[in-house]
Amino acid sequence: MSESIIGYVDSDGTIIDTQSAGESFDGTAIVYDNSEKALEIIRHSTAHLMAQAIKELYPEAQFFVGPVVDEGFYYDFRVDVPIGENDLKTIEKKMKTLIKQKYKIEKYEISKAEAMEKFAEDDLKLKVMERIQDDTVSIYKQGEFEDLCRGPHVPALRFLHNFKLTRVAGAYLGGDEKAEMLTRIYGVAFADKESLKAYVTMMEEAKKRDHRKLGAEMELFMFNEESGAGLPFWMPKGAKLRHKLEQILHKAHLTRGYEPVRGPEILKADMWRTSGHYACYGENMYLTEIDGQEYGIKPMNCIGHIQIFKQSQKSYRDLPVKYYEYGVVHRHEKSGVLHGLLRVREFTQDDAHIFCTPEQIAPEVLEVVEFVDSVMKLFGFEYTMEIATKPEKAIGEDAVWEMATQGLKDALDGNNLPYTLDEGGGAFYGPKIDIKITDAIGRKWQCGTIQVDFNLPERFEVEYVDEDNTRKQPVMIHRAILGSFERFIGILTEHYAGEFPMFLAPTQVIFVPIADAFTDYAYTLKKKLLLEGIDAEVYDKNDSLNKRIRTAEKQRVPYVVIIGEEEVTNRSVAIRDRRKKEQYNLSEDDFMLQLKQQLQEGRI
């Protein structure tokens, strides 16, 4: 067996580590590198190394689960003393000391009954075993440390040199908000120093760009725990930013044949039972009672659009019918996953539903892909597409799912559009194309989605009159380009590091008169800009000129304009241009023309 082999992939695509494979295993080798499967093994093993270090530093520590996640790995554990960010370096140092011990990672199996007796004094281990259905469990051991685990793991600790512990958090036991709060430490690991260094550099840049930090500095949005977790408040500048994004999309929808609609934010629970949301999504909904009847606050907008479609008889000549709505929805996210604007309990979807014939699926999906492409190019995002198939918890017949999934594949394949597959990742009512964007520092984000649905039209008896005068069931395409305004604005803020393009910036120009005598001209210019739809402010507070200029520049506005005697006399402006990183003078008319031209850059 090669020294660089850390595992295998069997015929089913399952990762088998070398401890499980043995010498004669016939599978595809996984070598020690930064491939997806190799990193899964490396990171899972590093989680155990971290747990071993914690156990040595805090002998009373007890461990729950330590999985690999998209951003690396974590371990949940109980400890008697608080652990903070300052303790991570100590844990890392202990991890490096343990690597020098040259421990191999060994695996052995015992019966579940033996394991329950072995860990009888460890209630967290007993809770882990409640999740295990098999009669036999596996245990991985390195030195004196051992833990229940399915694996996979690298053969020895010597493969685990390139890691970093990134943060400490709290996590409810088993994700249950009523349960005990455990300590969770996140980390990341790679196969080489260069990749780790690149990741650390990216994370340092990400900290500078954190939308929560920038949102507070720029007075875009706020949260108030007294009012409720995960409920964002939009401040004046943030509301302006949202409005500009909404207007860009509003025009783009109208030119593509969509019509604006608006549905209620609360519906009788029976509607959600008919749709399948109650059974498949009920744990994420907020339910209440009115006049003795159960109601549900909407987590999605589709039912409202169905009712609007059904309000009048439709002919095949009317199809496709396209409705769009900036729909406010509420979803019960667990408190442990709430994260600024990226994960909230109330948000606004740029939602749309297309009612069409089966023959129209491919062209309509392609038009949505074109819409997505134009939005992503406007904001400088690269993106990939992923087709997600039927999940375990789903409604509808397999044949219907296969037809819908094939419709998505045909649309993309027919136009040579690349995609990957996410088996089992679809919505409960239909398969979907997920849009994953890449931001300025290489992070990937899930945003838009295109979903083909035969099930809800059938459940709600949605019909149109076909050419032969028979009643047919339309196909329903659920579609969002941004995903939600909240999440997308959070991503945009980090993508641009708060320096939004002129057409989107909440404040586009700040005028700084150098003395009171020049304030009237500054306000005259401000009024002219506002009449052209350009947001401007005048900084004329009783502060020094340098302080007012610094304050203006901290707002990351596209233009800071200095107004002095020369500018008033010549009807001109002295510009500090953030985009060009330079200073120059323009006449008032030329400045207005330049701003109007840049506003046009926000068209899709």
Amino acid identity for residue 543 in this structure: D
Residue 219 lies in a domain: no
Q: Give the domain-ending residue among 187, 209, 231.
A: 209
Kindly tell me if the per-residue pLDDT of 385 is higher than 90. Answer: yes
- Confidence check: pLDDT of 22 > 80: no
User: pLDDT band at 24, cuts 50/70/90?
Assistant: low
What is the spatial distance between Cα 40 and Cα 31, in angstroms, rounded to a whole number?
Answer: 12
Range 293-297 contact pairs with CB under 8 angstroms and sequence separation of 24 or more: 293/268, 293/269, 294/268, 294/269, 295/266, 295/267, 295/268, 295/269, 296/266, 296/267, 296/268, 296/269, 296/271, 296/272, 297/265, 297/266, 297/330
Does 183 share its domain with 319?
no
Residue 478 annotated in active site: yes
Whether residue 180 is contained in a domain is answered as yes
Residue 594 lies in a domain: yes
CATH at residue 193: 3.30.980.10
Task: Identify the active-site residue in 48, 142, 302, 548.
Answer: 302
470 and 409, same structural domain?
Answer: yes
Are residues 488 and 518 located together in one domain of the fold? Answer: no
Tokens of 99: 């690597």
Mean pLDDT of 8-17: 87
Q: Which of 43, 44, 253, 478 is catalytic?
A: 478
Q: What is the total count of domains within the chain?
A: 3
pLDDT digits (tens, 9 = 90+) for 108-149: 999 999 999 999 999 999 999 988 888 899 999 999 999 999
pLDDT higher than threshold 60 for residue 93: yes
d(CA 535, CA 304): 35
Q: Are residues 23 and 170 in the same domain?
A: yes
Q: Are residues 333 and 299 in the same domain?
A: yes
Kindly state the average pLDDT of the residues 177-193: 93
The catalytically annotated residue of 331, 487, 495, 576 is: 331
- Residue 48: active-site member: no
- Phi then psi for residue 564, to 5 deg, are -130, -165
- Residues of 449-471 as b/e, b for ≥16 C-beta within 10 angstroms? bbbbbbbbbebbebbbeeeeeee
Q: Answer yes or no: do 189 and 294 share one domain.
A: no
Mean pLDDT confidence for 262-284? 94
Residue type, position 155, single letter: P
Distance CA(321)–CA(312), nearest Å, equals 12
If one counts every other C-beta atom within 10 angstroms of the C-beta of residue 550, the result is 12
Q: Which of 153, 184, 353, 576 is catalytic?
A: 353
Active-site residue among 78, 244, 305, 432?
432
Indicate if 433 and 540 belong to the same structural domain.
no
Instruction: Report the share of the chain in percent with pLDDT over 90.
Output: 80
367 and 248 both lie in a single domain: yes
**pLDDT over threshold 80, residue 2:** no
Say whether pLDDT at 455 is over 80: yes
Range of the domain at 559: 509-602
| CATH code of the domain covering residue 517 | 3.40.50.800
User: Under a CB-based contact definition with an 8 Å cutoff, are residues 581 and 485 in contact?
Assistant: no
d(CA 561, CA 518) in angstroms, rounded, equals 12
On whether residue 224 sits in a domain, the answer given is no
Domain final position from 444, 470, 495: 495
| Segment 204-246, tens digit of pLDDT | 998 999 999 999 999 999 999 999 999 999 999 999 999 999 9
Same domain, 252 and 358: yes
Selection from 440, 563, 570, 419 nearest residue 492 by Cα: 440
CA distances, 20 to each of 25, 27, 44, 139 (Å): 9, 12, 15, 12
Residue 432 annotated in active site: yes
By the 8 A CB rule, do 136 and 20 touch? no
Is 302 among the residues known to form the active site?
yes
For residue 536, the model assigns a pLDDT of 97
Residue 487 among the catalytic residues: no
453 is catalytic: no
C-alpha to C-alpha distance for 558 and 244, rounded to whole angstroms: 15
Q: Are residues 576 and 480 in the same domain?
A: no
Q: Is 349 a catalytic residue?
A: yes
Which residue among the candidates 52, 142, 349, 360 is catalytic per the annotation? 349
| 234 inside domain | no
Res 324: pLDDT: 98
- Among 17, 351, 453, 535, the active-site one is 351
Give pLDDT tens digits for 314-352.
Answer: 999 999 999 999 999 999 998 878 899 999 999 999 999
C-alpha distance from residue 333 to each of 158, 183, 329, 388 (Å): 40, 20, 12, 22
The model's pTM:
0.83
Q: Which residues contact 473 (CB under 8 A, 6 or more apart)?
A: 454, 457, 458, 462, 463
